[in-house]
Amino acid sequence: MPLHECPGPDRKKPIVPEELQCPACGAEIEMWTNEAQTTCPSCSKVITRDELDAGK
């Protein structure tokens, strides 16, 4: 029996959609938790996760 086991996928967070607000036009956007960026369906602005995190 190993003394240490690799945590593997048991420690990964589930990938789920998040409902967020576009910082440019205010429309509701969907971004999955594993995405670094998405495009607003309303105004076509490319929105990065860093941009959304900075606005908090």
What is the pLDDT, as a whole number, of residue 53? 78
1 found inside a domain? no
pLDDT digits (tens, 9 = 90+) for 1-56: 455 666 666 567 788 999 999 999 999 999 999 999 999 999 999 999 888 877 66
10 found inside a domain? no
29 found inside a domain? yes
DSSP 3-55: SS---GGGGSPP--EEEEE-TTT--EEEEETT-SEEE-TTT--EEEHHHHHHT
47 found inside a domain? yes
What CA–CA distance (Å, rounded) separates 38 from 29?
8
What letter would DSSP give residue 1? -
Residue-number span of the structural domain to which 42 is assigned: 17-54
What is the pLDDT, as a whole number, of residue 2? 52
40 found inside a domain? yes
31 found inside a domain? yes
What is the pLDDT, as a whole number, of residue 7? 60
5 found inside a domain? no
- Total domains in the chain come to 1
Tokens of 4: 């240490």
